[in-house]
Amino acid sequence: MAWAATLKHLPRRFWAPLRASLQSVLLDCPVESGFSYSRCQTVRGYRVSARALAGHNKWSKVKNIKGPKDTARSLEFSKLGIMIRHAVKEGGPNPDMNSALASLLEVCRSKNMPKATYETAIKGADKSKPLTIINFGVRGPGGFALLVETCTDNYKRTNSDIRNLVNKNGGSLFEGAKNSFEQRGVVTIRKDSDRKNLGLEEALELAIEVGAEDVREQISEDDPVNLQFVCAVQSLREVRERLMSLGFTPLSSALEFIPVRTVELKSEEMDVAAHLVHLMESLPDVVRVYDNVIAID
């Protein structure tokens, strides 16, 4: 947006009042779509409101309640291994020449994945079956949308697994659900590492400084809070390098799907949504599940 580019180059003393004014104008914009949305939230334009952030954080806490830690860790490592093998097949085993592989190894290290484990995945890529990334759109009970990213060597099996799971849990496969998301660059850092614990205002100013369009918190049950800087796809490398130049160590930097329209759910509806997300994440071919849920206060 033109005003975002202007905001980026304003002197620091003008940021806060101008940003507050823009947030108040944009906070309640109407949305026309096949779903019923009570709010419009967008990743563009440096506009993280306290209310939107609270709704996102409340949902994150519900969604990221973990089961047995050993099981969750094993499943996470297994999915990373699948993605590593796919990245190696697509771009080769050298992370200096393969940005997708480099990003995955960054995640592996941040998750304390044993070096021997990801090196085995790299070396075994040539012997594994061809893998394909396929995204499925899902409409969940209550009208929320999921974009389910899979990495599979058998489309029919994966499609059947997802369809059966969704149908049993009150949802449906729905291609139009993909329209609730767009691909953006996302750089993740620890909120309280490298520097002081960043508040919303400081995080917004940092986003402007590094050329990101938005910043949001990533919260899970036991892990430290992370900050995710959202940017245009073509700006991912630049935003990552600027954060590093300011002394921050990225936990990951990758292309992800960000909701451009969100659905607000009540507490009991969030439990149903979280259950569906957890079941979906447990499928062996599913590597990532994106949602457009925020909580009603």
- What is the reported pLDDT for 224? 72
CATH number for the region 2-65+181-259 comes to 3.30.70.980
Q: What is the pLDDT of residue 296?
A: 79
For every one of its 297 residues, what pLDDT tens digit does the chain have, with 9 covering 90 and above? Answer: 443 444 444 443 333 433 333 333 333 333 333 332 333 333 333 444 444 445 555 666 656 655 556 778 888 999 999 999 999 999 999 999 999 999 999 999 988 999 999 999 999 999 889 999 999 999 999 899 999 999 999 999 999 999 999 999 999 999 999 999 999 999 999 877 655 577 778 889 999 999 999 998 887 665 678 899 999 999 999 999 999 999 998 999 999 999 999 999 998 899 999 999 999 999 999 999 999 999 876
Report helix angle 236-245 to 200-210, nearest 10.
Answer: 120
Closest by CA to 228, choosing from 239, 1, 80, 290, is 239
Please answer whether residues 278 and 146 qualify as being in contact, where contact means their C-beta atoms are separated by less than 8 angstroms: no
Q: Enumerate the H helices of the chain as residue ranges.
A: 2-8, 12-26, 50-63, 69-91, 99-110, 115-123, 155-168, 200-210, 236-245, 267-282
